[in-house]
Every structure is written in C-alpha cells, then in structure tokens.
C-alpha cells in the first residue's frame, strides 16, 4: 500500500469497468464534493460502447476502450501489456475496478500489489462470483450487502476493507435486492478509497486494519445500580 497522509496530493486513480459505471460515478461525485482527496486519471473499458466511457466524456476525464483480446474473461498476455502501458501513461497509483468483468492476472497484480481495489455485491466470503444477490436469495440468507476489498490472485478473496449490509426482505426479488445493495455500494466505495487516500489502512496477515475512533464514555443509563 502507498504511504500517504491526509495532506498528501490527490491520489491518482484509474478506473476499469465493463458496464454502466455507477460505482465510478460515486467516486467522481465524492471527488467533486471534496470528500475524497483523489483524481481519476483515466477510465478504461474492455467494452467499446460501455456507458462508463460516456461518463468519462461527460466529466472530461480521459477515457479509452482497451481490448481484452484474445481472451474473453481475463486480462493476460497482449491485453495485459496494453493495460499496463495505458496505466503507466496516465500515472495511476491505484486501480479501482467498477464492474470490470475480467479476471486480473499476475502482471497487473504484481505491478499494483495491494493497490487494486474491487467492490463486490455480497458480504464476502459469502457468495463470490457473479450474480451474488441471486445467490443470497436462493440460499435464504437474512442479510446481504457489499464488500470493498483488495484484489489478489483468487476470485473475490482479497483482504476486506469495508462491508455494508442490507436486510433481505421476504418479498424481495433479485431486482429489488440488487437495487438496495447498489445504494450501499455507492457509499462504501468512496469511503474505502478515502481511507486509502488518507493513508489510514494497514495490511497485516491478510487483514486490513482500520483506525479506531476514540473511546466514548458510557451513557449513565448504561451503568448498573452500583455505578460500575
């Protein structure tokens, strides 16, 4: 992880996405309102007409289609070289995956060790992989949610930075549950990047350690009759 403090220059983030880019928009908005000390230096998509590239154009952020060929589900070989060159050219310090539907492989992981962040629509380690909200409904879990984590060699197995939960309602459909999870995603992703930008996370033994808030005294009503 990069050594930073709250007074550091804006964190240089590159976003990789394959779809609409709503989580990318949450980062753009947080930067615009001054709650995230960062700059998005590039938005790259493996889908030529992805809406995330429209967001880049609308906000005057450099955006570019980068083919993932010859593979369909991963970034490796020639494609990995293309991405590494583009990331180096824009001076990216951290990569934020925002609905990027390809597996990141060794070259990117080694170049950006502990500097690739992903958001996943479940409370990991439960329900990794695709359509996690549908998995949660089929399983009958009472809580769903989202997880922001660092990316490693596994599938949704990297150290967890932040999680936010939502209840699963008896009348939920995949669409209604997914929509409520997305609301929490748009809160969690800027929050996690804010922790990184301010240098407030430490990684130890596959765990992300976060700063703790100062302890507050117990409310008098919480004390028993002996005042202990």
Active-site amino acid positions: 120
The length of the chain in residues reads 228
Structure tokens belonging to residue 68: 């993932």
Is-contact 17 50, C-beta < 8 A?
Answer: yes
Where does 14-157 have alpha helices with state H?
22-32, 51-58, 78-90, 106-111, 132-139
CA distances from residue 74 to 71, 100, 104, 165 in whole angstroms, order as listed: 6, 10, 6, 29
Strands 74-75 and 94-97: unpaired
Cis amide linkage into residue 70, ω under 30° from 0: yes
CA angle 116, 126, 183 (to 5 degrees): 65
Residue 34 CB-density burial (10 A; 0-12 exposed, 13-18 middle, 19+ buried): exposed
Q: Which residue has the tokens 């549908």?
A: 134
- Angstrom CA distances, 124 to 129, 132, 191, stand at 10, 10, 18
Cis before 167? omega within 30: no
Query: Which pair of structure tokens corresponds to residue 74?
Result: 């991963």
């Amino acid at each position: 992880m990069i050594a930073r403090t709250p007074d550091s220059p804006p964190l240089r983030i590159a976003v990789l996405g394959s779809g609409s880019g709503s989580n990318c928009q949450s980062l753009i908005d947080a930067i615009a309102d001054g709650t995230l000390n960062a700059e998005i230096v590039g938005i790259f998509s493996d889908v030529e007409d992805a809406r995330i590239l429209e967001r880049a154009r609308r906000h005057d952020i450099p955006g570019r289609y980068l083919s993932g060929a010859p593979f369909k589900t991963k970034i490796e070989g020639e494609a990995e070289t293309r991405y590494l060159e583009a990331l180096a050219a824009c001076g990216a310090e951290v990569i934020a995956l925002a609905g990027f539907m390809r597996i990141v492989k060794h070259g990117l992981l080694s170049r950006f060790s502990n500097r690739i962040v992903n958001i996943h629509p479940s409370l990991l380690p439960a329900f990794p992989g695709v359509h996690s909200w549908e998995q949660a409904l089929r399983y009958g879990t009472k809580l769903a949610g989202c997880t922001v984590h660092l990316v490693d060699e596994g599938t949704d197995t990297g150290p967890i930075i932040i999680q936010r939960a939502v209840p699963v309602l008896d009348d939920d459909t995949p669409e209604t549950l997914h929509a409520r999870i997305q609301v929490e995603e748009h809160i969690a992703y800027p929050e996690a990047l804010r922790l990184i930008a301010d240098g407030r996370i430490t990684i130890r033994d596959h765990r992300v350690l976060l700063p703790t808030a100062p302890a507050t005294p117990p409310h008098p009503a919480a004390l028993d009759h002996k005042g202990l």
